Amino acid sequence: MKKLKKPLLFTLCILPLAVVGAYLSVRMALASADASQLEPMIAQLGSREAVVLASCVQPVVYVLVSAFFGYILAEKLGLLRPLRFEKAKTLRVLWVSVLCGALLSLDAWTFARWIPELDYGAQGRFDAVTWLASILYGGVLEEVMLRWFVMSLLAFLIWRLLFRREAAVPAGALIAANVLAALLFAAEHLPATVQTFGGLTPLLLLRCFLLNGAAGLVFGRFYRKYGIHYAMLSHALFHIVSHTIWLLAF
How confident is the model at residue 228, as a pLDDT? 97
Indicate whether 1 pLDDT > 80.
Answer: no
Give the model's confidence band at 35: pLDDT under 50 very low, under 70 low, under 90 confident, else very high.
low
Q: Averaged over 178-206, what is the pLDDT?
A: 90
Question: Could you tell me the pTM of the whole model?
Answer: 0.92
What is the per-residue pLDDT across 110-143, written as a single tens digit (0 to 9) for each?
A: 998 888 888 776 655 667 888 888 899 999 999 9
> What pLDDT shows up at residue 130?
82
**The pLDDT of residue 227 is above 70:** yes
| pLDDT (mean) for 192-218 | 90
- Indicate the range of 126-130, 168-172, 191-195 predicted with least confidence: 126-130
Query: Burial of 111 by CB count in 10 Å (0-12 exposed, 13-18 middle, 19+ buried)?
Result: middle
pLDDT in tens, 82-117: 989 999 999 999 999 999 999 999 998 999 888 888
Residue 18, pLDDT score: 95
Handedness of CA 219, 223, 227, 232 (dihedral sign): positive
Which pLDDT band holds residue 248 (cuts at 50, 70, 90)?
A: confident
Which is more confidently placed, 122 or 67?
67
Query: What pLDDT score was predicted for residue 249?
Result: 85
